Structure 1
């Protein structure tokens, strides 16, 4: 699991990145052009590069602590190379589009690229060393106790242990049945919840975390009442991990604390960004592939009698029914009871249709779905309504896939979870990847999926 630094440390890292990039630009300018004072257009380039850094670096995991563990420093260095290279590539593209490349010294640009890369590597290396030093210092650590149940506390313990920069040390766990869990956590003190208050007073514990499940309310209420004379800080961590949640957060409405259990990040301005992304790209793609669309239409007409376009009802945004378009790849037939997924060697598929399905060319008409606003280029693949009715009973959180528009390609598809889902586990993995995409959506995540789709190609062994 990718663990990000807290926002304060992410912000500090970004400031360091910006300072290194600016210093590298000045140093390269001094070496190649003889002065430390940059010309005004060079300041503009450095400012744009800093903005691009804030957008691009998170896409390469450069604000994730896991990159700087002892065993993965090399991965961190590779990510800096890729991240800084992407920023420079974006600058070259901007200079080409705006025809401003001749205003800048190529020698300075090359020096800046190399010095900036070296400076970012050095900065992150020293950040890693200083972070490790602070984590190792006993005075910097915060000692807490955890009160709750095994079910409620496992997630809390795992997350704290995987976030070493927090320097939080759990020195005790108190629950209703300590004899059952005595060796479960490898913690120095395990006791009954009624012993927790005395332990806090005796050991002068500054903070206690209460990890509860919803059925333990009375037990926790008693624990809090036992501490009414104590100055210990109490933190409540409700057990929400058994639910299928998306982008959960805490907010305040009319002075009331509100725990948002399920929400999509594609709200507000993000809806506008994704809509513009879809419409512009779909329009350009349709213009580009229009000759191919004509060739495929002729091929279908010559191969099998019937319509060129196959229309099927699917669930769209908010599970509202939509009509999805595909090139027809099967002979005309009637489904007796339910929609049956295509299988290997399916007799319903005519030869040219098999080629279309294998190469995913049968999906191309869905760009017209994107233009009419019922689909996105990137999103969870839409399933037949009959399949939704079946799997929503079997897979928790299944219908949360419909919090956004369905897509032509998606995170699940580029990770291999496409084609026939002949087992429940395959569908569970597809849903897992779809929900991950929804929770972590960004414009750059979409670009990554689109580029990966082009890079890996449309042919897949599971597509038939």
Structure 2
């Protein structure tokens, strides 16, 4: 059921969308009324925003969650609305009535307003929560270091909307007391404190092996109006941070599975296609010049193609500008380029050093075979070798490979002549998988453009 807060949030968003269109009209045409010639576009955007924003989680509670991630989700949701609106207008043959500059102004102004409104609300709530208001009291019940870590995060995040009000550590001497947070070692006393002090939430910070203990605690508070949440300690067995999903109608914790939830994959997919299409459009003159130079500099094709493994191990053909003279390799053997490699042409050396030889991979991104950001794909022959000797290597296949990645912007590019180099590259790739966010992708893209185009390791 749609609550009053949800209704107000939607009304504010509708006002910002319509208001943004009017401001854009004033900037573009110096006439507020001119925008209403595109009333069908505005109406559709409002309607589709009301439908799509909930799908992207825009109206979910963000108590205790990242505002940066919320801003990225709002941005993607609004871009999806505008792209779908343009597609509809094109289908109705109404694009001749729409000013492209007005659409750009409208998209930018409204997108900024949607994000700014949420940041403003968040800033107000932070101030209120720092003052001790609008907080939910939380009692943490757990074991040892995991319990101590959960309480520490609560204490360190006063603006999250949660406040640690009691701790019961089932492990004797299982952690130091936090200033201002009562620490109990007797469960009946702890339960009485929860009931008498208006505690709204009880968090169970327990390992999966403590099922009977968990059941005892749940039964204790079954008839109380408190939210009971389970924060499992799965670090000893989970490769990635465990997340709870709905599986055939039952909750399931992912221990070894794709680290990106379905919603994140959709966001990444939309960004990839839009970014690749824009990049190819902008870089087309550069691609054409490079293609001509490669063709004229040495005999052979303009593009070099090779089979690589993508998401879930699916094989695809990767595209690069050719940087080597045509040569023969033994079957099943791929020789990596080395410093001073005689196979590399003079033009190819420049392309490899600046990573311009990778630009055709935007076609792979547009085809859905690669991502803009992700683990770099290697030759299949190298995959088979490294998979046997490097722990966790196979998990690089859990998402699409990327044109650039966390390992590359941290200096792990070029030849991997030692296992240790590949091990470090894989560790960076796994870090990226565990800590993915849209903001991290943007950071990697900007770092690649700013300082990642030239590397002494690339030859």
- Sort the TM-score into its range (normalised by shorter chain): 0.5 to 0.7
CA offsets, 1:324-375, max 9 Å, x none? 4542537847689986654545566454432231132433565675687654
Partner of 2:309: 315
Unpaired runs of 5+ residues, structure 2, are: none
Aligned to 1:148: 142
Give the alignment of 1:417-456 within 5 angstroms: 417-420=412-415, 423=421, 424-433=423-432, 436=435, 440=438
1:178/1:191 contact within 8 Å kept = no
Q: Secondary structure at the match of 2:210?
A: helix
Partner in structure 1 of residue 457 of structure 2: 462
Could you tell me whether the CA contact under 8 Å between 2:65 and 2:160 is conserved in 1? no
Q: 1:151 to 1:323 in 2, by over 3 A?
A: farther
3-state SS of 2:455 partner: coil
How many residues are treated as equivalent by the alignment? 423
Q: What secondary structure is seen at the aligned counterpart in 1 of 2:181?
A: coil
Which 5+ residue runs of structure 1 have no aligned equivalent? 1-6
Change over 3 Å in CA distance of 1:231–1:46 after alignment to 2: closer
8 A contact 2:184–2:190 mirrored in 1: no
Residues 418, 154 of structure 1: CA spacing in aligned structure 2 closer, same or farther, 3 A cutoff?
farther
Q: What is the alpha-carbon distance in structure 2 between the residues aligned to residue 26 and residue 234 of structure 1? A: 47
Return the offset for 1:229. 7.5
The whole-number CA distance in structure 2 between the counterparts of 1:377 and 1:403 is: 15
Kept in 2, the 8 Å contact 1:197–1:227? The answer is no
1:179-258 superposed matches below 5 A: 179-183=173-177, 186=179, 188-192=181-185, 195-204=186-195, 205-224=199-218, 233-241=227-235, 243-245=238-240, 248-253=243-248, 255-258=249-252
SS at match of 2:245: strand
The CA deviation string for residues 223-254 of structure 1, in whole angstroms up to 9 with x for no partner, is 4466677665432222245523379342152x
After superposition, the C-alpha distances for 1:384-418 in whole angstroms (9 at most, x for unaligned) are 34554565567765433323433334565467653
Give yes or no for contact 1:376–1:407 (8 Å, CA) kept in 2. Answer: yes
CA distance in 1, matches of 2:107, 2:328: 61
- Quick one: distance in 2 between partners of 1:372 and 1:113? 26
- The alpha carbon displacement at 1:130 in A equals 3.4
CA distance in 2, matches of 1:8, 1:241: 40
* Contact kept in structure 1, 2:144 and 2:170, CA below 8 Å: no
Aligned residues of 2:145 and 2:175 also touching (Cα < 8 A): no
RMSD, aligned CA? 6.0
Report how far residue 12 of structure 1 moved: 6.1
Task: Give the Cα–Cα distance (whole angstroms) in 2 for the partners of residues 419 and 390 of structure 1.
Answer: 17
211-220 vs 411-420, which moves further:
411-420
Change (3 A) 1:163 1:13: farther
Does the 8 Å CA contact 1:329/1:357 hold for their aligned counterparts? no
Q: CA deviation at 1:294?
A: 4.4
| TM-score computed with the length of structure 2 as normaliser | 0.64
Give the structure 2 partner of residue 3 of structure 1. Answer: none
What is the alpha-carbon distance in structure 2 between the residues aligned to residue 356 and residue 29 of structure 1? 44
Structure 1 residue 209: Cα displacement: 1.3
Structure 1 SS opposite 2:140: strand
Alpha-carbon distance change, 102 to 461 in structure 1, aligned in 2, over 3 angstroms: same
Change (3 A) 1:13 1:146: same
Equivalent runs, 1:23-422 vs 2, <5 Å: 23=19, 40-41=36-37, 43=39, 98-100=95-97, 127-128=121-122, 130-136=124-130, 138=132, 140-153=134-147, 156-157=150-151, 159-161=153-155, 164-183=158-177, 186=179, 188-192=181-185, 195-204=186-195, 205-224=199-218, 233-241=227-235, 243-245=238-240, 248-253=243-248, 255-261=249-255, 262-263=257-258, 264-265=260-261, 289-290=287-288, 292-301=290-299, 312-326=306-320, 327-329=322-324, 332=327, 341-345=336-340, 349=344, 351-364=346-359, 366=361, 374-375=369-370, 379-385=374-380, 387-389=382-384, 392=387, 398-410=393-405, 413=408, 417-420=412-415
